[in-house]
Amino acid sequence: MKKIIVLGGTGFVGARVCEKLIREGWQVTVPTRRRSNATNIMHLPSLTVLELDLHDEAALAGAVAGHDALVNLVAILHGDQAAFEHVHVALPKKIARACLAGGVAQVVHISALGADSLQPEKSPSMYLRSKGEGEAVLLQAAAGGGAGAAAHKGFDLSILRPSVIFGEGDKFLNLFAKLQKVFPLMPLAGAATRFQPVWVQDVASAVVACLKGANGQASPRIIELAGPDVYTLKEIVQLAAQISGVAGGLGRPVIALPTWAGRLQATLIGLAPGQPLMSVDNLDSMKIDNVASGKLPGLASLGITASALKPIAQQYLVRT
């Protein structure tokens, strides 16, 4: 039985990845800072939960050793420069060293559409820049090299770049539906930005397919994960209202904010305690459309037919 360690395995995507890996016969290890975070996956057979801090490099290396493969799903959407560097760049560096030292043969890393490993500094937001820098770290490690005692053979690497991910329990469509149930209108920054939402189960299937070598492309490979349909953010908000039955399916009036007003709104939201609904850095990310470039392989290269958003959302969005 092959052994795999899944970083971020307790999350929205990670739990689905773990379920599919178990069905494929893998023995799965999921590290987490607190064991209580893993209650949603503890019932799975052949799954071990380790309580540790992923950013403790010695602890991470010890956990990774002895595994055949690693999946990294750890990411944040909000934070300052230091936070993005800590999670999206420093952690991949530690992961790369742990995998090389532990002889891990395969790594699947979840990045994001819009990330650029070749010129990360040209990306419009801290989030996307750090994602690109994290990719570059893993690409360099996967290539192998060095001389003498420092020589290493690298590892098989798949980098997956998903668009915004939807599915039951998401904080995407569900959020827009809930907001419209509370507020009489929707002032919306970035309303014209285009997205190509991808189903969480398709993302999880893509991870498994990469581990099984379904793509056939030599390592390292970068694959874009996007659904079959493109929507503006305004259209997504309206669709969430339609499906969940807000105002008889009509939803609330959506007011597209000009750039200056959107940045003011995001700044004020960011001052509130807790995780913000929208940050200035999120708006910076939306300066570019979140759609597949068409220049890289997609879900079809893994034998996966991309699932449409609307029929699936109709199954989980709660109607008013």
**Which pLDDT value is given to residue 167?**
95
The DSSP call for residue 294 is S
**Which pLDDT value is given to residue 228?**
98
CB 60 within 8 A of CB 98: yes
**Which pLDDT value is given to residue 192?**
95
Q: What is the pTM of this model?
A: 0.94
CA 241/CA 174 separation, integer angstroms: 10
CB 223 within 8 A of CB 253: no
CB 309 within 8 A of CB 197: yes
> In terms of C-beta density within 10 A (0-12 exposed, 13-18 middle, 19 or more buried), how is residue 230 classed?
middle
The DSSP call for residue 120 is G
**Which pLDDT value is given to residue 147?**
47
Q: Where are the beta strands (DSSP E) in 84-153?
A: 106-110
Residues in the chain: 320
pLDDT one-digit tens code per residue, 1-24? 799 999 999 999 999 999 999 999
CA 159/CA 108 separation, integer angstroms: 6
pLDDT one-digit tens code per residue, 231-285? 999 999 999 999 998 878 888 899 999 998 989 988 887 776 677 778 899 999 9
CB 223 within 8 A of CB 210: yes
Task: State the DSSP H helix or E strand holding residue 5, giving kind and residue range, or none if neither.
Answer: strand 3-7
Instruction: Set out the domains of the chain in order of their start, with CATH numbers.
Output: 3-164+198-225 (3.40.50.720), 167-196+229-290+305-316 (3.90.25)
pLDDT over 50 at 316, yes or no: yes
166-196 core/surface letters (b: 16 or more CB in 10 A; e: else): bbbebebbbebbbbbbeeeebebbbbebbbb
Helix axes 91-102, 57-64, angle to 10 degrees: 40
